[in-house]
Amino acid sequence: MPPLLTTQPEETLENPHFQTHPAAWHHPEPMQTFLRRLPVDKPSTAAIGPWLWVGNPQTTARLLAQRQREDVPAFIAGAKVLLTAFSARKGEIEAVNPGKAAGTLTKHVRPYREELEDGLVDLAVETATTSGKWMLFPAPADLARTWRLVAEATAAGRLGPL
């Protein structure tokens, strides 16, 4: 029987990402302190910024190198071009099909939506912008609990890259 191939785990490094951002968790800040400092369910937190950030405090050299290659402005600019083209095509389809059922319009738009999705994936790879953020939509009553669970799991390295 041939030997099994094994890979050595990558060495972890301290992750400096978001350490100075006012809306971010700052390791080694206790998670409960962060959650009290920026309560997700309070309108006053929105004044800090549109997003709250929690990152794994550990990373690998490979992920740090990837982050340095990211070209987010180029991704955003390219994505706007792709989205504008898609919106124009969708508008044309809707204009020549007035009063059609939503399902019919969806059927006609589908190839263009798939083209948009493929273009966004290609653009993300091209600009090394392949990491992202969690986009959660819990019920208002579940917001604080859901955010706490995600934040704690991310900070503990149970969610996200590594």
Containing 57, the helix (H) or strand (E) segment is none
Confirm whether 77 is domain-assigned: yes
* Of 146, 154, 161, nearest in space to 59 by CA: 161
Same domain, 28 and 104: no
Q: What angle do CA 81, 86, 90 make, to 5 degrees?
A: 150
Per-residue pLDDT of the chain (162 residues; tens, 9 = 90+): 555 555 556 777 777 767 788 999 988 899 999 999 999 999 999 999 888 888 888 888 888 788 889 998 999 999 999 999 999 999 999 999 999 999 999 999 999 999 999 999 999 999 998 877 778 889 999 999 999 999 999 888 888 775
Same domain, 100 and 142: no
Confirm whether 86 is domain-assigned: yes
pTM of the model: 0.61
Same domain, 34 and 63: yes
Q: What is the residue range of 37's domain?
A: 12-41+57-70+131-155
Question: Is residue 71 a contact partner of residue 127, using CB atoms and an 8 Å limit?
Answer: yes
